Structure 1
Amino acid sequence: MIEQILNQNTSKTAKMRALFELGLTRMEVANLVGVNYGFAHNVYVKMYGTTRDQRIRQNQANQSNPENEIWRRRYGIEIEAFGVTREQLVTKLREAGIEVQSEDYNHRTRTWWKIVRDGSIRGENSFELVSPPLKGEDGINQIKKVCEVLVQLNAQVNKSCGFHVHFDAANLTLQTWKNLTWNYYMLEEEIDKMMPPSRRGNSNNYCQSLRTRVENQNLQREIDECQTLMDLSRKMTDRSRYFKLNYESYWRHKTVEFRQHSGTVEFEKISNWIKILNRIINYSEGNRVAESNENALYALMSISLVNYIKMRRQKFGF
């Protein structure tokens, strides 16, 4: 894609505009087109405005529709915890109106919630609670009931627990996968700041960093050179599922899985993380972030999600 743009019989300004639309930074565009940074910056400002102008426009957009979530695909969650017997959990969830079954470990997608074992969880009476495919606010409301039961039963989490989210990826194009890869890579260090130390950087073998295998200066080119999703998975994760962004779930469930979040049974954390990821995927359908900073993350979020992210960052001293 980049080479095609550079080889077009168009002006340098037109080439820069096309490259900016791919999400490249001003320095990257300047180097590719062979112009000085000031020229590239001026073209960028004419397209997008200054950083301050961008924030003003985004705030205006957020204020006009602050809480509207656009749900374009189904999602599912996996809650890892311990301290509650399966029998207790089944009984209380059913009393709350949640259809649930206790099962042997399996990867089958159900139309009900299932409770299975997970050998990676440390703690007595450990379990993994897996949702069926959920949709929009109805799914969020169902999760709220589940979390209320988990809190009532005093379910516990520790560093061995994770909280995973799947989104339906059956209709994601390869370009969207590439954009999502770039966007999560660019935003990963900002997302790290709202996570405990055990889920930051490359500190956890079960959710490794996307920055492990590819250097930033080569990423755009290496992503765009991938011809298939398998190429992309091989490039970014060497076909391992134990990364913050897991491509491998596509071949088993036709989903994209996000594995970074720490274990939790708290509804606020769970619901907000789902919404944050939903917005990143929606944005990735046609866009790449231009910069790797907190404002690039905030620009994708509603006011309430920005406030939540800031609260989490402050909790961890950022």
Structure 2
Amino acid sequence: GFPPAAGSGRQIAETLTQRAGQPVEYLDVPRGDPAMHRVTPHWKLVVPEPALIFTNHTPFELVSPKLSGQRGLDQIKRMLEAVEALEPTVNATASHHVHVNAKDLIEGGAQGLEKIKKICVAFVGFEKAFDFMCSKSRQENNNERCQSNRARIADGALSIQEGLDRIERATTIQQVIDLINPNSGQGP
């Protein structure tokens, strides 16, 4: 969250716009409002879920527009530098998440399916290496928002290898999604 000195949500959005050189809109709508999930061509500052709120700071979630390539990485860097200048505080529920556009894979038919399966198998295989880059609260199943893909595909009763074999046997992208991210409520 941002310290009280950073100001209101609207003031924080204005400060971030000035410092990052990218427009940031303060979206003052109730949690769950469809506008929160609408893709915009600019950054949005929204009120987070109640579980993400902590005391003495103004909690907000900063949502990026669609970004791509090196330009997108540069935009993220400038925005995070602008955020850092406001001296925010984070707790174990805070995160920086990135949405990856896999449209070319999803629309790629059988080739897309095979590529998605390879990405999933590689991620499961290297999950422990990715975990080393995260705090303990984000590793394995220590956080309800960051669950282990290895544990998920093993499904409690299967070995990791059996879970990987299930991915390999998948014949649709939705089957892969259901194995890696069951109950997500979101398809391809």
Return the TM-score normalized by structure 2. Answer: 0.79
User: Given that residues 2 and 87 in structure 2 are in contact (C-alpha distance below 8 angstroms), is that contact kept between their aligned partners in structure 1?
Assistant: no
Whether the aligned pair in 1 keeps the contact of 2:14 and 2:24 (CA below 8 Å) is no
| Selected match of 1:99 from 19, 23, 27 | 23
- Provide the identity percentage: 30
Give the structure 2 partner of residue 150 of structure 1: 83
C-alpha deviation, 1:216, in angstroms:
1.4
Matched, 1:175 2:114: yes
Deviating runs (4+, > 6 A) in structure 1? none
The answer to which structure has the higher strand fraction is 1
Report if the CA contact (8 A) 2:24-2:44 is conserved.
yes
Q: C-alpha separation between the residues in 1 aligned to 2:74 and 2:184? A: 33
Q: CA deviation at 1:125?
A: 1.1
**Which residue pairs with 2:52 in the alignment?**
121
State the partner residue of 2:146.
207
- How far has the Cα of 1:212 moved from its partner? 1.8
- Work out the CA distance in 2 between the residues paired with 1:101 and 1:206: 26
Distance in 2, matches of 1:136 and 1:100, equals: 20
Q: Secondary structure at the match of 2:92?
A: coil
Aligned residue type for 2:74:
N
CA distance in 2, matches of 1:140, 1:236: 26
3-state DSSP of counterpart to 1:212: helix
Question: Are the counterparts in 2 of residues 101 and 115 from structure 1 also a CA contact under 8 Å?
Answer: yes
Query: Could you tell me which amino acid in structure 2 is paired with residue 202 of structure 1?
Result: N
- Matched with 1:140 is 73
1:25 corresponds to = none
Partner of 2:15, secondary structure, is helix
In the alignment, structure 1 residue 89 sits paired with structure 2 residue 89? no
Q: Which one has more relative contact order, counting CA pairs under 8 Å at least 6 apart?
A: 1
**TM-score after normalising by structure 1:** 0.48
Q: Considering only aligned residues, what root-mean-square deviation do their CA atoms show, in Å?
A: 1.8
- Unpaired runs of 5+ residues, structure 2, are 106-111
Q: Which string of whole-angstrom CA distances, capped at 9 and with x for unpartnered residues, describes residues 263-312 of structure 1?
A: xxxxxxxxxxxxxxxxxxxxxxxxxxxxxxxxxxxxxxxxxxxxxxxxxx
Matched residues, number? 164
1:110 equivalent in alignment to 2:40: yes
Partner letter of residue 12 of structure 2? L
User: Can you give the 5+ residue segments of structure 1 that lack an aligned partner in the other structure?
Assistant: 1-80, 242-247, 252-318
The residue number in structure 1 matching 2:182 is: 238
Report deviation, 1:237: 3.0
- The structure with the largest alpha-carbon Rg is 1
Tell me the distance in 2 between the aligned counterparts of 1:148 and 1:236.
33
Amino acid at match of 1:101: E
- Equivalent residues in 2 for 1:1-318, closer than 5 Å: 81-83=1-3, 84=6, 85-96=8-19, 97-103=21-27, 104=29, 105=31, 106-119=36-49, 120-123=51-54, 124-172=57-105, 173-213=112-152, 214=154, 215-240=159-184, 248=186, 251=188
Structure 1 residue 93: Cα displacement: 1.9
User: Quick one: distance in 1 between partners of 2:74 and 2:168?
Assistant: 39
Whole-Å separation in 2 of the counterparts to 1:135 and 1:238: 27
Aligned counterparts of 1:236 and 1:145: Cα–Cα separation in 2: 32
Contact 1:100 1:115 survives alignment (8 Å): yes
What amino acid is the match of 2:67? L
* CA deviation profile, 1:104-149 (whole Å, cap 9, x unmatched): 3511111010111111313231011011111222222222221222
Q: Distance in 2 between the 1:223 and 1:135 partners?
A: 28
